[in-house]
Chain A
Amino acid sequence: MKSEQFIMIGLVVAILIGIVAVFVASGNPDGLESTALVVQDQKALLGDTPDDAEIHEEEEGRFAYESPFPDYTMGEDGGKMGELAVIVLGTIIALILAFAIGKVAMAKKS
C-alpha cells in the first residue's frame, strides 16, 4: 500500500473508531477513577459503581486548568454533534502533529 493511501485509510479508520466511541463507549469510570472511588469508600472493589459515586478531589495546592473542550465535549450545549466534532478534530490534530514533528526531526539528521 502506498504511503498516501495508507495515511488516508488510517485516518478514516481512526475517525470511524472515534465516531463509534462517541455513541457506544462505556460511561463507567476508568481503572484509576474506580480505584479512587474504592479508596474513598464509595465503591466495593468487585462491586458495581453506584450512580451517585463522586470522586473527592483535593484542590489545595493543586494546579487547575480549564481546557477548551473538557472531556471531549463542546460543553453542555454541544451535545453529540459537539462530541463528534471534537473527536474528529483531535484525531486529525494527532495525525498532522505526528507527521510534522516526524518530518522536522528526520530533516535534522546530519
Chain B
Amino acid sequence: MHIPDAFMPIWQGGIYWIIALIFIFLALKWARNELTEDKIPMVAVLSAGIFAIQAFNLPVGFGTSGHLVGGALVAILLGSPYAAVFVLTLVLIIQGVIFGDGGLTTMGANILNMGVIGGFIGYYSYWGLHQATKKVYLSAAIAAWLACFISALACAVMMWLAGTFPLVPGLVAMGTYHALIGIVEGAITAGAIYLLLQARPEFSDAVTGVNAA
C-alpha cells in the first residue's frame, strides 16, 4: 500500500509529513531510551528482513498480490509501537529514495499508515488478544491481520481526501484486498516471531509480557 507521489496533492502529503515527523521524533526518543546492545541486532535484522520481504509479492487471488508490511511484527517483538515506527520509517525512506517504491511527498502518509497505524494497532491488539487467550502466535497473527486491514482502510480514506478514490468503492476494494493480504501478514508475522525467538530467546519476555510495563 505504498502511495506514489501521483496519488496525492503535494500539500496534503505535507500535512501527513508533519504528523509523521512527530511520531518519528517519538520513535527516536524510544530508540535513545530503550535500545540496548542486545536489541540493536534485532532492529537491524528486522529492518533488512522487512525490506527484502516487502519485495516478495505473493498472489492473493482476484488478480492482486501483497506482501508483509511488518509493523505488528516489529512492535510485538521489541515491545513498543515506536519500534515499528522506527523500522518502517527507515525501510520506507530506502524504498522511496533509492527504488521509487512509494513517493517522497507521500512518504509521511506511508509512514503513518504502515509504521504508526500498523505499529499501534498491531501492538495493542496483540496485547488485548494475548491477555484474553494467552496464545502468542494466534494473537500475533490476528493482530497482524488487523494492522494490515486497518492501515488499508486509513489509506483508502487518505485516497478519498486526495480525490484519487471515491470513498465507498475505495474502502470496499482496499478492505477486500487487504483482508486477503492480511492473511499473508498474519501467517508470516507468527512464523517470523517463532523463528526469531528460537534464535534470540531473550526476546520472549517482551512477547509474553514477563517484564512488560
Contact = CB atoms under 8 A, between A and B. Distances in A.
Interface of A: 1, 3, 6-7, 9-11, 13-15, 17-18, 20-22, 25-32, 34-36, 38-39, 43, 45-49, 57-59, 61-72, 86-87, 90-99, 101-103, 105-106, 108-109
B176 A43 contact: no
Given A17-B52, A21-B55, A57 B172 contact: no
Contacts of B33: 109
B165 A36 contact: yes
Interface of B: 1-10, 13, 28, 31-33, 35-53, 55-59, 62-67, 87, 90-91, 94-101, 103-105, 152, 155-156, 159, 164-166, 169-170, 172-174, 176-178, 181, 199-200
Contacts of B94: 90, 93-94, 97
Given A62-B10, A70-B100, 12 more contacts: A10-B41, A14-B53, A21-B52, A31-B152, A32-B174, A57-B6, A69-B98, A70-B99, A95-B44, A97-B90, A98-B46, A106-B36
B35 A102 contact: yes
8 closest cross-chain pairs (CB), A and B: A10-B45, A49-B63, A67-B100, A98-B47, A31-B177, A105-B31, A26-B65, A21-B56
15 contacts: A3-B40, A9-B199, A10-B44, A18-B52, A25-B56, A30-B2, A31-B181, A34-B64, A35-B159, A61-B10, A63-B103, A63-B104, A68-B98, A71-B100, A106-B40
